[in-house]
């Protein structure tokens, strides 16, 4: 690909969630996030998403920091100039430290643009091999055990075959045990979003007899060494999420043996190129299980998750649910829908393979900016 980038538009969108999503770090009712639209001289367009939120809870990034960094640092090096593609973009902004979700948003838009210009699906451009990807559902913290059982039941009725429960100290053994007793064969796991310390290891040990697939991110992000110790002292495998922001982090996690499993989120690591490197390292070189995680993306960001989940090293169900699990209406056509076998289909059309409904984007936009040469 070699194109002249004519403009980059950024949209702050606010979309109500169909139900509040509560984790150990807080509750979200409305998804505030950033969409990116890149247009090249010939009129072809690429879309991306930087799935930040209003506050720095999951990661230090927010809508405001991503807006600032996209506008002032990531976009100027490519607007009005010829660029070769996502790799070229990453080189031009390599001085920028951190801000990986902002960077991912623009990088993803360039992958969509590249694939469209080549007339290929995103899956084919990145080397995906699957036609359908296995997915699961992430269940937020509920007011009580009854509600948890009811919510899980409703997802199972809709066809989901793997359930992840959000936990925090004091909301862990009880809901997990109740779901396990009601569904002895269910593929079940938990995600703590870093809410525990090694000092509270007994709370986590209490989960060891529930046959969980894994415990995701039990300890704080910077604690790779403590995760390694915890992994040695628990039966249940550990999975890292927030701890791995780059291929360098993945190398260290493998060297320290911090976790068996990785939840790979393209936005968390700065885009698809870094995701491909981490995928090759974790799955192909180290032979460890890996799956794709989400951040309540709109249908636009979801397309990149589905493409990533079609990679051969993704061997466990991914956190990619259908559009109606998140939003009343999605920004793409067709919306993402669950197949009867608990999978999502990987689109075959050019680029992200779903049409972006620009009138819907406009409807949910609270702030828009356009960067031109
Ligand atoms: O830790 O995986 C997480 C959503 C927002 C922030 C963090 C996480 C999540 C999820 C939801 O678990 C996954 C999804 O998009 O369905
Ligand atoms: Mg997580």
One CATH from 3.30.930.10, 3.40.50.300, 3.30.70.20, 3.20.20.120 for 124-345: 3.20.20.120
Of 166, 122, 159, 114, which is closest to residue 140 (Cα–Cα)? Answer: 166
**Interval 287-295 mean pLDDT:** 98
Q: 50 with 36: CB under 8 angstroms?
A: yes
Q: How many CA atoms lie within 13 A of 282 on its CB side?
A: 33
State the ligand closest to the CA atom of 136: 1
d(CA 227, CA 107): 31
The CA-atom distances, in angstroms, between 328 and each of 136, 156, 324, 337 are 19, 20, 6, 13
Which residues touch 90 (CB under 8 Å, ≥6 apart)? 103, 107, 270, 271, 273
What stretches of the chain show up as alpha helix (H) in DSSP? 63-69, 86-92, 100-118, 122-126, 145-158, 173-182, 201-205, 224-233, 247-256, 272-279, 299-309, 358-364
Q: Which of 114, 116, 164, 166 is catalytic?
A: 166
d(CA 38, CA 351): 13
Among 122, 57, 138, 142, residue whose Cα is nearest residue 301? 122
The CATH number of 3-119+358-372 is 3.30.390.10
Ligand 1 site, residue 293, Cβ cutoff 6 A: yes
DSSP state of 284: I
The pLDDT of residue 292 is above 90: yes
User: Distance, CA 43 to ligand 1 centroid (Å)?
Assistant: 34
- 120 is a catalytic site residue: no
- Single out the residue of 333, 336, 326, 325 nearest to residue 157, CA to CA: 325
Distance CA 5, CA 75 (A): 10
pLDDT digits (tens, 9 = 90+) for 318-366: 999 999 999 999 999 999 999 999 999 999 999 999 999 999 999 999 9
Q: What atom of ligand 1 comes closest to residue 164's alpha carbon?
A: 12
Residues 110-125: tens digit of each pLDDT: 999 999 999 999 999 9
Angstrom distance (rounded) from CA 216 to CA 214: 6
Give me ligand 1 centre to Cα 250, in Å.
20
Neighbours of 129 (CB within 10 A): 12
Residue limits of CATH 3.20.20.120 in the chain: 124-345
Atom of ligand 1 nearest to the CA of 263: 2
User: What distance in angstroms lies between residue 295's CA and the mean position of ligand 1's atoms?
Assistant: 5
Which residue of the set 114, 116, 164, 265 is catalytic? 265
Please indicate whether residue 116 is annotated as part of the active site: no
Q: Write out the DSSP string of 184-241.
A: TT-EEEEE-TT-B-GGGHHHHHTTTTS--S-EE--B-TT-HHHHHHHHHH-SSPEEES
Strand partners, 3: 83
pLDDT digits (tens, 9 = 90+) for 154-203: 999 999 999 999 999 999 999 999 999 999 999 999 999 999 999 999 99
Instruction: Tell me the average pLDDT across 143-147.
Output: 97
Quote the CA–CA distance of 333 and 181 in Å, as a whole number. Answer: 39
* Percentage with pLDDT > 70 across the chain: 100
- Average pLDDT of the chain is 98
Whether 364 lines ligand 1, by a CB cut-off of 6 Å, is no
Q: Is a pLDDT exceeding 90 seen at residue 373?
A: no
Instruction: Judge if the upstream peptide bond of residue 195 is cis by omega within 30 degrees of 0.
Output: no
| Nearest alpha carbon to residue 308 among 294, 288, 326 | 294
Q: How many residues does the chain have?
A: 373
Q: What confidence score (pLDDT) does residue 333 get?
A: 98
Residues of the chain with CATH 3.30.390.10: 3-119+358-372
pLDDT at 132: 98
User: Which of 294, 305, 320, 322 has the most ligand 1 atoms within 8 A of CB, as the residue to mutate?
Assistant: 294
**Is the CB of residue 33 below 6 angstroms from any atom belonging to ligand 1?**
no
């Amino acid at each position: 690909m070699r194109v002249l980038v004519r403009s980059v538009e950024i949209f702050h969108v606010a979309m109500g969630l169909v139900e509040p999503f509560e984790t150990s770090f807080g509750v979200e009712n409305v998804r505030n996030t950033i969409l990116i639209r890149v247009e090249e001289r010939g009129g072809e367009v690429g879309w991306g998403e930087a799935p930040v939120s209003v506050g720095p809870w999951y990661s230090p990034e927010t809508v405001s920091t991503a807006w600032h960094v996209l506008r002032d640092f990531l976009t100027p090096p490519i607007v009005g100039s010829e660029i070769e593609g996502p790799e070229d973009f990453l080189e031009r902004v390599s001085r920028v430290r951190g801000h990986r979700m902002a960077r991912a948003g623009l990088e993803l838009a360039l992958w969509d643009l590249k694939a469209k210009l080549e007339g290929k699906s995103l899956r084919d451009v990145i080397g995906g091999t699957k036609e359908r990807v296995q997915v699961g559902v992430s269940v937020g913290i509920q007011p009580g055990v009854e509600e948890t059982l009811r919510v899980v039941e409703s997802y199972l009725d809709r066809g989901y075959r793997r359930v992840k429960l959000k936990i925090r100290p004091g909301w862990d053994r009880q809901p997990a045990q109740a779901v396990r007793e009601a569904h002895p064969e269910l593929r079940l796991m938990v995600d703590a979003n870093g809410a525990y310390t090694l000092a509270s290891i007994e709370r986590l040990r209490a989960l060891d007899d529930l046959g969980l697939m894994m415990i995701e991110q039990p300890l704080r992000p910077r604690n790779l060494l403590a995760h390694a110790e915890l992994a040695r002292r628990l039966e249940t495998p550990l999975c890292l999420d927030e701890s791995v922001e780059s291929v360098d982090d993945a190398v260290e996690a493998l060297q320290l043996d911090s976790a068996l499993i990785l939840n790979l989120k393209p936005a968390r690591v700065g885009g698809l190129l870094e995701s491909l490197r981490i995928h090759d390292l974790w799955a192909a070189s180290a032979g460890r299980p890996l799956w794709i995680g989400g951040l309540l993306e709109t249908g636009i960001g979801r397309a990149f998750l589905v493409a990533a989940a079609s990679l051969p090293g993704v061997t466990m169900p991914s956190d990619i649910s259908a559009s109606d699990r998140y939003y009343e209406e999605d920004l793409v056509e067709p919306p993402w829908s669950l197949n009867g076998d608990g999978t999502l289909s990987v689109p075959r059309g050019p680029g992200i393979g779903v049409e972006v409904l620009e009138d819907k984007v406009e409807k949910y936009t609270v702030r828009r900016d356009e960067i031109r040469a």
